[in-house]
Amino acid sequence: MPKSRRGNGDGKRRGRGEGTISYREKEKRYEGRFTVQTSRGPKRKVVYGKDFEETRRKLNAAIKDRDDGLVFDAEEMTLAEYLRRWLNGPAKRNVRPSTYARYEQLSRKHLIPALGSLRLKKLTALHLENLYEDKLEKGLSPRTVNYIHTTASKALGHAVAKDLLRRNVASFAEAPQPKGPEMLTLNRKEARDLLEAAKGNRLEALYVLALATGMRRSELLGLKWGDLDLEECILLVRRGLTVSPDGGVEIDDPKRFSSKRRLDISPKVAAVLKEHRRRQTEERLAAGKWRDEGFVFTSRSGGFLHPNTLYTAYFKKLRDRADVPPIHFHDLRHTYATLALLLPNAKVKIVSETLGHKDVATTLRIYAHVLPGMQREAAEAMDSVLF
């Protein structure tokens, strides 16, 4: 029979304020107890686990949240107080700086002024819907209002996870659904025209790689030579380079685990990258002063290539010279996906993995317009089987 234990699992006694763990014979489970300070004084809180180690992990996590300032008694807590604690603790730890900056701005400018005085537990879906309608009437775009809704939902979801609320009322609030940006793609001839116009360009390999793999702009600009094995024709997507809130850049892991991936490239694409490496060596020798950070695609001084510079100084000029439709750089990713899905015997799962999507459903939702063509090809293929 398990005995009550006050240690931390490694033979050491838990210190003052670290809580206690004991076994509850009647419930057949472990119980971790700790104290939080509330507006009404100290209060004991409890977490449970099926074994000692699970209980210890839950207890340590709860105490960490307590020490970060996220208290566990929300009877008198206002939404403003909760949002500030959430922003200064869990949100700051768990999201990218650019995402955190957006959460902080939307909370400070919209959620807190309008609803901050409400008690957290008194907030309703109707409160949020009224806020959304008011912001739309004042001229905010549906997309911005939807971001406000997303921020509220993330914050309240964490409150539910920490037992501050029983349910996330944001999930019951209707938020405006902005129309997605129009997707423009190149057809086969236009894609070839673009690459023809790029021949000899210092970033020719970037455009080839974008159309051959559908990599995101951030992934292309974050690519380093150490991520490539050009003899084995292998490429590893390990990081992304994005614009930061202050206009600089952030270099970070891809946004999801599925975005970290290994890609096979063709020998022809590998050959273009080898030529790019040779040109870059010549450029480095000619420059004299070179900022070597290992990036495959660089500025003329060798450092990272800013995403905004890529479009204004390079891609827009190339696009216009090639006389192709006025696409954005991200549309090269859409072009890859569309052309790949229309290939004979196309496998949606392989295309989805190459794009780094979370799952096949994401790919099918984004590229639903390609499905009719795929269905037609499948129908004709079945003709050859049946007749």
Distance of CA 243 to the CA centre of its chain: 14
pTM: 0.65
Burial classification of residue 269, based on how many CB atoms lie within 10 Å of its CB (0-12 exposed, 13-18 middle, 19 or more buried): buried
Average pLDDT of 68-97?
80
Q: Domain 188-377, what fold?
A: hpI Integrase; Chain A (1.10.443)
User: pLDDT grade, residue 1 (50/70/90)?
Assistant: very low
Per cent of the chain over pLDDT 90 is: 50
User: pLDDT grade, residue 112 (50/70/90)?
Assistant: very high
Question: What's residue 36's pLDDT?
Answer: 75
pLDDT higher at 124 or 166:
124
User: pLDDT grade, residue 255 (50/70/90)?
Assistant: low
Question: What's residue 233's pLDDT?
Answer: 94
Q: Taking a C-beta distance cutoff of 8 angstroms, is the pair 237, 259 a contact?
A: yes
Rounded to 10 degrees, the C-alpha dihedral 210/213/215/220 comes to -60
Q: Taking a C-beta distance cutoff of 8 angstroms, is the pair 120, 91 a contact?
A: no
User: Is residue 127 predicted with pLDDT exceeding 50?
Assistant: yes
Question: What's residue 227's pLDDT?
Answer: 95
Q: List the chain domain ranges.
A: 1-73, 79-172, 188-377
Determine which of 41-45, 181-185, 341-345, 381-385 has the lowest per-residue pLDDT on average.
381-385
Q: How far apart are CA 116 and CA 102, in angstroms?
A: 18
Q: Taking a C-beta distance cutoff of 8 angstroms, is the pair 287, 300 a contact?
A: yes
- The most confident of 2-16, 48-62, 260-274, by mean pLDDT: 260-274
Sign of the Cα torsion 102, 104, 110, 111 reads positive
Question: What's residue 296's pLDDT?
Answer: 96
What's the token pair of residue 229?
């094995």
What digits encode the pLDDT tens for the residues 148-204? 999 999 999 999 988 788 899 999 999 988 776 677 889 999 999 999 999 999 999
Question: What's residue 6's pLDDT?
Answer: 46
CATH architecture of 79-172: Orthogonal Bundle (1.10)
Average pLDDT of 24-47?
80
Q: Which letter, b or e, does each residue of 142-173 get, where b requires 16 or more Cβ atoms within 10 Å of its Cβ?
A: eebbbbbbebbbbbbebbeebebbeebbbeeb
User: pLDDT grade, residue 38 (50/70/90)?
Assistant: low
Element (H, E) at 341: helix 331-341
Q: What is the DSSP string of 165-198?
A: -SS-GGGGS----PPPPPP----HHHHHHHHHHH
